[in-house]
Amino acid sequence: MLKDSVFNQINNSRQAYENTGSMLETEFIGNINQTLYKQEAYEMIYKEQLPESADPEKNYERILKIREEAQKTFNDTLAFADRNKYINFKNSMALVEKCQIGNPEQPKKFFAAALFNYIQQRFDDKYILKFFTATGGTHLDIVHKIDCYFKLYSKETQEELTRATIDITGRKSKDKATADVLLNIKPEEKDLYDPSQGNSSFDKVFFDQKIKEFGEEIIASLIENYQKSKKQ
């Protein structure tokens, strides 16, 4: 039986996802491919129990089993926080990148695209910037508290140089924040960011100012993390 502290941690993870990882994050930064993520996560966790076979028919049955069991296993947010289904930070990030929808160098969501363009302009053409969302039901989001992140690569070598992880919140600060940057998007200001047709509340001056503010925080984090990596 789970201890109260463990249960509370899992329950808080679920509540955090349901309260902040739903519509706002979907509209602002998009989702991963949820079906693919569940399959990849399931296979990573249960890999030893799902050995590959030289028999094509058995391998086909294996794939079908993974698809079916993955959806059952991760049909509830609590499953991601289950210690028996834990995936560490590094592997969680790798899964998220494998399950992106669209091109990480061309984010489609208005907010993510504006932030990407602002940050990209601060780096010359020797670098490649990529944006990854982790929302939509992932270990990185629910367990490791990362909603999205930027990575900077060398165009010449394709080597990852630095990254900045982001947590979107409606509060100015969070206890035990694990992300490099907290972006405070107040629920009552949400419409000010939204340029959708028919939304008269969109405020371009406010939006541009917030993109500049957020962008500078992320740029500072990218630079700081790069400098830290060089000292190690």
Lowest-confidence segment of 63-72, 110-119, 211-220 by average pLDDT: 63-72
Task: State the pLDDT at residue 41.
Answer: 94
Q: Which residues of 26-54 are buried (b: 16+ CB within 10 A; e: fewer)?
A: eebbbbbebeebbbbbbbebeeeeeeeee
SS3 assignment for 75-135: CCHHHHHCHHHCCCHHHHHHHHHHCCCCCCCCCCCHHHHHHHHHHHCCCCCCEEEEEEECC
- The answer on pLDDT for 115 being more than 80 is yes
Distance CA 150, CA 159 (A): 14
The two tokens of residue 84 are 């028996």
Instruction: Kindly give, in sequence order, each residue whose CB lies less than 8 Å from that of residue 229, ignoring residues fewer than 6 positions away.
Output: 161, 162
Mean pLDDT, the chain, as a whole number? 87
Length of the chain: 232
Question: Rounded to two decimals, what is the model's pTM?
Answer: 0.86
Query: Between the CA of residue 162 and those of 98, 144, 189, 227, 228, what are the distances in Å?
Result: 19, 19, 31, 9, 9
> What distance in Å separates the CA atoms of residue 59 and residue 17, rounded to the nearest whole number?
35
pLDDT in tens, 33-84: 999 999 999 999 988 777 676 667 777 777 888 889 999 999 888 899 899 9
Residue 167 has pLDDT above 90, yes or no: yes
How far apart, in whole angstroms, are the C-alpha atoms of residue 218 and residue 89? 20
pLDDT the model gives residue 99 = 98
Per-residue confidence at 174, pLDDT binned at 50, 70, 90?
Answer: low
DSSP summary character for residue 1? -
Tokens of 89: 């930070």
Could you tell me which residue, 169 or 88, shows the higher pLDDT? Answer: 88
Predicted local distance difference test score (pLDDT) of residue 53: 66
**Average of pLDDT values for 150-173?**
91
Query: Is the pLDDT at 10 greater than 60, yes or no?
Result: no
Percentage of the chain beyond pLDDT 70 is 85
Looking at the chain, list the stretches that DSSP marks H as alpha helix, in order from N- to C-terminal side. Answer: 4-20, 23-29, 34-45, 56-73, 77-81, 89-98, 110-120, 139-142, 204-231
Quote the pLDDT of residue 21.
Answer: 46
